[in-house]
Structure 1
Amino acid sequence: MVERRAFSAPGKALLVGGYLVLEPEYKSYVVALSARMHAVVSTSEAIQKGNPSIQVRSSQFNNDCWTYQLQQTNGYSLSERDNKKNPFIEKVLLNVLNYFDPCISNLKDVNIEIFSDSEYHSQSESSLKRNSLKKFAFHTKSITEVPKTGLGSSAGLVTVLTTALASVLRKELNPYSKADLETIHKLAQVAHCQAQGKVGSGFDVASATFGSIIYRRFMPELISNLPDMSVSKIQIYKEKLKHLVDETDWNFTADRIRLPDNLRLMMGDVNNGSETTKLVGKVKAWYREAYPSSSEIYENINSKNSAFIDCLNEINNLSKNKQIYDGMLTAINSGNDEAINSYTALKQIRQSVNGIRENFRLITKESGADVEPLVQTTLLDACMKLNGVLTGVIPGAGGFDAIALLTTDTTDLRSQTDGKHDFKDVSWLDLQQADIGVLEEIPSHYDNLRSD
């Protein structure tokens, strides 16, 4: 009998906390997005008992497929049948298998189908397939050849793949259980860092797991101190991994939050995208060379980040008073600066974002990294003149990734920007914020996808 389960995990937008999120002393505000990565997992009796395989397929991207044969000697190792490399898939499989450590003779063959919502990738040269419940863009190119929009596809993939395989090895796995979610989170963080070849901040995996959060990172040594996964050290690795996941306090923050009622996040893709690693490398080099003035800039940004978070909390509180809150929404919708600034919380949230952007432009000038390049400054300034826009940023590391705007939920950006020169390079993504991270889905909802 074929057993099936399905899961999804959201993308992310780091509204405030870019660069500072790398340091354990700073908090960031991360909004999970409605764009999700999906995994449908099924098992069947192994064709050769004691010699199971795991197949991961992405029919959306040129029918990409990776098939791994498993070996167990003190711990798990694997080999891809055609010697194809995908570090994100490989590290997930190795960490999940070695953490749960099932007896190989009891393992079934595992098949995992991956799906990616359209907003993660450029939609040029793609065609839609859908059923009555789901729709996905199918590409003629492999996944590595299709430009990304910077919404956290690799973190979402690692998180949902971790959940899917874990559900095979722990039948009772419940993604709404705090304990199971923490296990998923830690395993996904380890796999994601290893696949990237560095220990990043982890905010993207945390958001994929937990949803919209206030985030403060874990110490990178937790992961970097793990031994390597070579066959000779796999027994030690397995023991250290179990200790790290089950018994170690990671001392990080992932407190769930939600945007105020009637406000929503809108993302505008500028069809470029940035190499985050290069941006971060340049900013880190600048920080070292410009110290201590660079530290003062970071502290200034942190104070503005904290003010932004406090203002959103205040707006959440004000939303309980219908008369006041309706007036605030009317002011934002009017686009009139005087009306907006008559509300202290709205005025302060704009001031905090202006301060953050001003400091990022200073870093851009001093470091040579395009944290807020001129073309994005021009675009964001034009967006601030639109009715219904409260504020806007380039989320995360900045650069040429999609911009993020906080607007009222009645704002129609397309009607205000269509045909206007200032917005000719912007595609408004069909997104909204998501409060929840990992979700269990219904497997049959992914069946019978057909072309329009």
Structure 2
Amino acid sequence: MAVVASAPGKVLMTGGYLILERPNAGVVLSTNARFYAIVKPLYDEIKPDSWASAWTNVKLTSPQLSRESIYKLSLKNLMLQCVSSSESRNPFVEQAVQYAVAAAHVTFDKDKKDALNKILLQGLHIMILGCNDFYSYRNQIEARGLPLTPEALAALPPFTSISFNAEENGQNCKPEVAKTGLGSSAAMTTAVVAALLHYLGVVDLSSLSKDEGPVDVDMVHIIAQTAHCIAQGKIGSGFDVSSAVYGSHRYVRFSPDVLSSAQDAVKEILLQEVMASILKGKWDHERTKFSLPPLMNLILGEPGTGGSSTPSMVGAVKRWQKSDPTKAEETWRKLSEANSALEIQLNILSKLAEENWNAYKCVIDICSKQRPEKWIEQATEPSQEVVFKALLGARSTMFEIRNHMRQMGEAAGVPIEPESQTQLLDATMSMEGVLLAGVPGAGGFDAVFAITLGDSGSNVTKTWSSLNVLALLVGEDPHGVSLETGDPRIKEITSAVSAVQIE
């Protein structure tokens, strides 16, 4: 029986760089772009001679990259060995498999371990699929002579193949996949871990409610964080995995030493022992519920300058912190205060919507049709005035955040908000109905985001198109990891067909 799990991509709205250090917080929004993992047995039944074997087979397929890898999994030390060509290896999926199987070993008693071995001896077939939004299809759209519009993007088939970059001699090389910065590796790792843990019976994700999942989700979180960090070769802040598991929230990172046993895991230590100490570790990350206030929409635009390398930008900022600690500390303090202030204004807006929906809705309707400098003139009564004030407060805080981020980039010598992005963001923030615009996460040339009010999003996408910026089809969806009922390709194709409007 196949198990399908999915996990969302993310946009880090506030907390870029600061989120790397406790106790700084970041606000991360999960999106409706999802990564899917399908896990099923490789064979219908266990071969008679397989009990004598200390190995089982694992097959990983990635249709979008036209790739297939075959592995052997040792049932003793739970390590994977690639037996197909090494070009197609995927370290994130490899670590997800190893740590998920190790978690089953650690948590099961003897009877359950026997059942686990039976499942494993049938082999594992894992397929991964990422929504188109994770990747840049700009070149394909331009090659077809189509305009840079969301409609052109929507016309692409679901789970479209990702093009390879051919080398001069015409050989296919490792594809340099142009990404949109939604955190594909974190979403992919989380989806694979969730599907495997459910398939192996370690967790039961079928009871996931729309609001709050059971404790089982925490297990998915710990194992996905571990696998993702080991695959990356470093311990990041983990906000991308956290939002892939839990959805939109305010996040404070875990202490890195909780993963020291995994980092120090020399080949001699069994993976089971490493996993046992990680599960017992003090996971001290913090998350607080957060999602955008009502009638606000997240939109993302791809400026077409290619993504930026987050690790190298983070490295440059860290070097600057060491070389000029006083200035760095002051900038971080101001940035941290501005991030908190923005979060407070957005929470106030959510509360105002709850307390007086009519006044709130009326103000959002007005602002969605006006340029921001005209907003405050429209207030006719006190209940509306507080909403206008909170909106304008959020805007001025966003300008402040961007200012500090730019200063940090200039001091560190990296383009956190490059000049071209500054012009685009300023133009966006002056449009009708735009509350905020910024560069998410570490900044650079990745996609930009805007938070729009009411129905004003379509005007933004049109204007972006004229500025050679491709508006993506992504929006906020506050839900995290979930169990799916079937193959997403069938569902995506039927919804794509029904979305086509016949003129």
Fold-level similarity (TM above 0.5): yes
CA distance in 1, matches of 2:264, 2:464: 53
CA distance in 1, matches of 2:338, 2:416: 17
Letter of the 1:442 partner, please give it: T
Evaluate the alpha carbon distance shift between residue 447 and residue 22 of structure 1 in structure 2; reply closer, same or farther with a 3 A threshold: same
- Larger Cα-atom Rg: 2
Structure 1: gaps (5+ residues)? 128-133
Query: Is 2:225 the partner of 1:194?
Result: no
Evaluate the alpha carbon distance shift between residue 93 and residue 71 of structure 1 in structure 2; reply closer, same or farther with a 3 A threshold: same
Evaluate the alpha carbon distance shift between residue 114 and residue 443 of structure 1 in structure 2; reply closer, same or farther with a 3 A threshold: same
Structure-2 residue corresponding to 1:76: 78
Structure-1 residue corresponding to 2:500: none
CA distance in 2, matches of 1:303, 1:269: 29
CA distance in 2, matches of 1:397, 1:289: 20
Displacement of 1:5 in angstroms is 1.4
Q: State the SS of the aligned residue for 1:232.
A: coil
Structure-2 residue corresponding to 1:417: 463
Evaluate the alpha carbon distance shift between residue 324 and residue 445 of structure 1 in structure 2; reply closer, same or farther with a 3 A threshold: same
CA distance in 2, matches of 1:118, 1:230: 38
Letter of the 1:164 partner, please give it: A
Letter of the 1:334 partner, please give it: Q
The match for 1:66 among 69, 74, 77 is 69
Evaluate the alpha carbon distance shift between residue 253 and residue 449 of structure 1 in structure 2; reply closer, same or farther with a 3 A threshold: closer
User: What aligned pairs does 1:6-17 form with structure 2 within 5 A after superposition?
Assistant: 6-17=4-15
Structure-1 residue corresponding to 2:269: 233
User: What aligned pairs does 1:33-432 form with structure 2 within 5 A after superposition?
Assistant: 33-43=31-41, 44=43, 45-47=45-47, 49-50=50-51, 51-61=55-65, 63-73=66-76, 75-84=77-86, 85-101=89-105, 102=113, 105-106=117-118, 107=120, 108-123=122-137, 124-125=139-140, 135-141=158-164, 144-170=175-201, 173-174=204-205, 176=208, 177-226=213-262, 228-234=264-270, 237-245=271-279, 247-271=280-304, 272-320=306-354, 321-329=356-364, 330-340=366-376, 343-411=388-456, 412-413=458-459, 416-417=462-463, 420=466, 423-424=467-468, 426-432=469-475
How big is the alpha-carbon RMSD for the aligned residues of Structure 1 and Structure 2? 2.4
Displacement of 1:333 in angstroms is 2.9
Contact 1:57 1:65 in 2 (8 A): yes
CA distance in 1, matches of 2:402, 2:460: 25
Higher helix share: 2
After superposition, what is the alpha-carbon deviation per residue over 1:55-106, rounded to whole angstroms, capped at 9, x for unaligned?
A: 1111111x21122111133x21111112423211111111111221245742
Contact 2:56 2:75 in 1 (8 A): no
CA distance in 1, matches of 2:67, 2:455: 40
Q: State the SS of the aligned residue for 1:255.
A: strand
CA distance in 1, matches of 2:455, 2:339: 26
TM-score in terms of structure 2 length: 0.82
Identity among equivalent positions (%) equals: 30
After superposition, what is the alpha-carbon deviation per residue over 1:406-449, rounded to whole angstroms, capped at 9, x for unaligned?
A: 002411135641663xx22x100001101110011122443498
Q: State the SS of the aligned residue for 2:75.
A: strand
CA distance in 2, matches of 1:403, 1:59: 29
Displacement of 1:389 in angstroms is 0.5
Q: Following TM superposition, where does structure 1 have runs of at least 4 consecutive aligned residues deviating by more than 6 angstroms?
A: 448-452
After superposition, what is the alpha-carbon deviation per residue over 1:131-153, rounded to whole angstroms, capped at 9, x for unaligned?
A: xxx92212343884321111000
The match for 1:433 among 451, 476, 483 is 476
Contact 2:36 2:488 in 1 (8 A): no
CA distance in 2, matches of 1:90, 1:219: 24
Structure 2: gaps (5+ residues)? 106-112, 145-156, 165-172, 378-384, 498-503
Structure-2 residue corresponding to 1:131: none
TM-score in terms of structure 1 length: 0.91
CA distance in 2, matches of 1:92, 1:232: 20
Evaluate the alpha carbon distance shift between residue 178 and residue 203 of structure 1 in structure 2; reply closer, same or farther with a 3 A threshold: same
Contact 1:386 1:416 in 2 (8 A): no
Letter of the 1:80 partner, please give it: C
- Size of the aligned set, in residue pairs, is 437
Displacement of 1:154 in angstroms is 0.3
Deviates more, 1:337-346 or 1:82-91: 337-346
CA distance in 1, matches of 2:403, 2:471: 25
Letter of the 2:400 partner, please give it: G
Evaluate the alpha carbon distance shift between residue 117 and residue 301 of structure 1 in structure 2; reply closer, same or farther with a 3 A threshold: same
Higher strand share: 1
CA distance in 1, matches of 2:436, 2:233: 35
Evaluate the alpha carbon distance shift between residue 419 and residue 297 of structure 1 in structure 2; reply closer, same or farther with a 3 A threshold: closer
Displacement of 1:336 in angstroms is 3.6
Letter of the 2:324 partner, please give it: A
